Amino acid sequence: MLDRLASFLGYTKKSLASPDGDLLALFGVSSPTASGVNVGPSTALSVPAVSCAVRAISEAVATLDVKVMRREGASEVEASDHPVAGLLQDRVNEWTAGFEFVRDIVAAALIYDNGGLAWVNRVGGRPVELIAYDTAHLTAQRHEDGTGAYRYFLNGRERPAADIIHLRSPFGRSPVSLARESIGLSVTLERHAGKLFSNGSRPAGMVSFKERMTPEAIKNAALAFKAMLASQNTGNTAFLDAGAEYMQLVLSSVDSQFIELTGFQILQIARAFRVPPQMLYDLERATWSNGEQMGREFMTYTLEPWLRALEGALRLALFSAEEYPTHRVHFERDDLTRADIGARATAYSSLIASRVVNPNEVREWEGLPSYEGGDAFANPNTGNSQPGSAAPQVDGGRPADGAA
């Protein structure tokens, strides 16, 4: 009876005999990987490639300007006076700035299977603050009805889904969880590297004797050898007797091949996060020609899906049923796609000369104030720039069709 009631209410029955990932995470542990390493969020972030990937995505998203757009007929205008715009552009609560909130919720979605979660505090139906609680306080549980819906619990009390911002990874699992085997192997390789280059893995040298010696004699010879080295200045020659020979041990090329494996694991982690290797500072295959192309791929294939998902999650939670059809949250992508100043100047000059745009529109793109006469569509390189010689204008200040 209790099992049927729990199933009806949406609770999932979990067994400690065969715990899943969520149950293990609740106790702060994770199941071991094939390499024998328990990979959890804290362990994964200790791998430089993982922390670099998480920061590259979350911080890039958070640096973009965020706006609230309102649809008016066939066009959209910025609703800068909307309370959601004030929250995201300024501070979401008394202790968290908008940049930190966006960065942390995206980072949580990259690390935790439950995704990035935040509670929307409303007063009079209007959002007044956003709080990204720790994963132990704000949890999400998938409903068993098969619809993909979630139930949310804040400090043990169920909250309406409309009051929760939920940013989820594809497949319902984070990149850290999906790449846990590669991350575990990276941890193993780093531990091996630390041992390999320390005295605990390989002795610095070997002393051999021509005659067979008892264990006690070897112990006394070792103590005498260490005492002799300790009594001399660094760089002096050590003298051995009784036919002893000293041989320094060095690393072979085979011992150093783990560096190649480390590089391969960086590529595996980059694939899991869909981040170009150069974003993880793996510049082995980066050139002047493909570096810019990989930067565009980072924007198109890595950031854009996360931006669309974040915009959708914010729109679902921050706007009322009446506002939802006409309002949306928009992250301005131009800052990431903008070319250098030389390329922009060349493009602007060409657009102004061909009278596609006017100087004031270009100045608005660059965040500069307009000037008198800058709204005219004129070619500054010809006589059309003279007063009264501009192309005929139509509504909106654009040149008429067919004008030269």
Q: What is the pLDDT of residue 203?
A: 59
pTM of this prediction exceeds 0.85: no
Closest CA to 303 of 97, 64, 85, 50: 64
Query: Helix (H, G, I), strand (E, B), or coil: what is residue 116?
Result: strand
Q: Strand ranges (DSSP E) for 287-326?
A: none
Torsion angle of the four alpha carbons 273, 276, 281, 285, in this order, in degrees rounded to the nearest 10: 140
Buried b (16+ CB within 10 A) or exposed e, 162-179: eebbbbbbeeebbbbbbb
Q: What is the pLDDT of residue 396?
A: 53
Q: Strand ranges (DSSP E) for 87-137?
A: 91-93, 96-97, 116-123, 126-131
- End-to-end Cα separation, the chain, in angstroms: 82
Q: What is the pLDDT of residue 345?
A: 83
How many residues are listed for the chain in this entry? Answer: 404
Gap between the Cα atoms of 12 and 17, Å rounded: 15
Q: What is the pLDDT of residue 65?
A: 92
- Residues lower than pLDDT 50 in the chain: 2, 5, 7-12, 14-18, 20-21, 27-28, 253, 387, 402, 404
Half-sphere exposure of 56 (CA within 13 A, CB side): 21
Q: What is the pLDDT of residue 231?
A: 58
Q: Which residues contact 391 (CB under 8 A, 6 or more apart)?
A: 355, 377, 378, 384, 399, 400, 403, 404
Buried b (16+ CB within 10 A) or exposed e, 85-119: bbbbbebbeeebebbebbbbbbbbbbbbbbbbbbb
Helix, strand, coil share of the chain (percent; to 5): 45, 15, 40
Q: What is the pLDDT of residue 5?
A: 46
